[in-house]
Amino acid sequence: MSDTATAFAPASIGNVAVGFDMLGLALEGAGDRVTATRRDAAGITIAEVRDLDGEPHRDLPTRADENTASIAARALWDEHGESGGVELRIFKGVPLQSGMGSSAASAVAATVAVNALLESPLETTDLLPYALEGEKYASGGTHADNVAPSLLGGLILCPPALLPEVIRLSVPEGVSSVVLHPDLQVNTEQARRGLADACSMEQWLTQQGYLAGFVAACASSDLAMIGRTLKDIVIEPQRTAALPYFEAVRDAAIGAGALGCSLSGSGPSIFALCDDQQAPELASAMAQACRGFKIECQTWISSMSAPGARLET
């Protein structure tokens, strides 16, 4: 049993357009890192939160009851920890309020790191409920569409009705995800509060059909069917009305060959799925469209089988 452990957890695309609150995809290239160290004093504390440049993070609290990482870590330690406590060091690589699962990545990395300090560590899949505690604090709801892919990697179906059970889905061959993050922030809790609490039977039927079709198309690598089904007719229209660049970025993605394009989580980031070969061109077309609105942005290209959280030595 070690006294210290560091874990990395990747960013993720929540909803993946078709599955509001129940479908998530892990991303390569961006993530959070948490180092957990045993301390004699009881409880979970945060020693520091740093940004990508190694500077103290300007916007994130080091109070343990206000940070998703420590809240998740505490949930695990309270149930499975021994005497003493744990001190966390958090290194944020995922931009805040980006729609890329920033709070989930911190919660997952903390959970995986603290798990490694336990006398009898849990299986990775059994860490989900603890990481979800952190996410619940951040977004005000129990949805695992960021936490589950960040923890497990790949494409994960995680309907709230089935939690903590989740289902790993097959990913299509030869398809990449592209994420564009405009230099803006959207607060997920607020974005959720603004949603209509009902949809029509016709919308429900259509969206259900898209989700079922998308899941089947991923399993059979049917790219044409992915293109027909990667759509959100219920949530996306409600959220994108406030994002003036959305339509232009989506049109640029589709124009460059995307199979589909939608908001990543609650935004402001936008993701597209496309043929691997087209991903670099797609990313640059999306970025150019975004900059046309004088909004700076960053893009990531990822395999759909991006790995989930892991311990680092």
Q: Which stretch binds ligand HSE (CB under 6 A): 13-21, 57-65, 173-181, 241-249?
A: 13-21
Q: Coil, strand, or helix at residue 270?
A: strand
Q: Binding of ligand HSE at residue 134 (CB under 6 A)? A: no
Min dist. Cβ of residue 99 to ligand HSE (A): 6
Task: Lay out the site mask for ligand HSE across 67-86 (x = CB under 6 A, - = otherwise).
Answer: --------------------
117 or 261: whose CB is closer to ligand HSE? 261
Minimum separation from the CB atom of position 60 to ligand HSE (A)? 17
Choose the stretch contacting ligand HSE; rule: CB under 6 A; options: 184-192, 203-211, 252-260, 296-304. 184-192
CA distance 191 to 169: 27
Q: How many amino acids of this chain bind ligand HSE (CB under 6 A)?
A: 15
Q: What is the DSSP letter of 11?
A: E
Candidates 265, 274, 279, 306: give the one binding ligand HSE (CB under 6 A): 265
Reduced to 3 states (helix: H, G, I; strand: E, B; else coil), residue 309 is: coil
Which regions of the chain does DSSP assign to beta strands (E)? Answer: 4-14, 23-39, 43-50, 85-91, 155-157, 167-169, 175-182, 260-263, 270-275, 297-303, 310-312
The correct pick among 168, 192, 228, 310 for binding ligand HSE (CB under 6 A) is: 192
Using Cβ positions, the residue closest to ligand HSE within the complex turns out to be: 265
266 binds ligand HSE per the rule CB under 6 A? yes
Dihedral of alpha carbons 24, 25, 26, 29, sign: negative
- Residues whose CB is less than 8 angstroms from the CB of residue 72 and which lie 6 or more positions away in sequence, other chains included: 106, 107, 108, 110, 111, 130, 131, 132, 133, 134, 135
Q: CB 233 → ligand HSE: shortest distance, Å? A: 15
Residue 207 in contact with ligand HSE, rule: CB under 6 A: no
Shorter beta-carbon distance to ligand HSE: residue 111 or 188: 188
Residue with tokens 């049109």: 251
CA distances from 210 to 16, 118, 215, 240, 245 (A): 11, 42, 9, 19, 25
CB of 48 to ligand HSE, least distance (A): 26
Q: Of 14-22, 89-97, 163-171, 174-182, which segment contacts ligand HSE by CB under 6 A?
A: 14-22
| Vertex 96: Cα angle to 92 and 98 (nearest 5) | 125
Separation CA 214–CA 204 (nearest Å): 15
Binding residues vs ligand HSE (CB under 6 A) = 14-15, 20-21, 99, 101, 139, 143, 145-146, 188, 191-192, 265-266
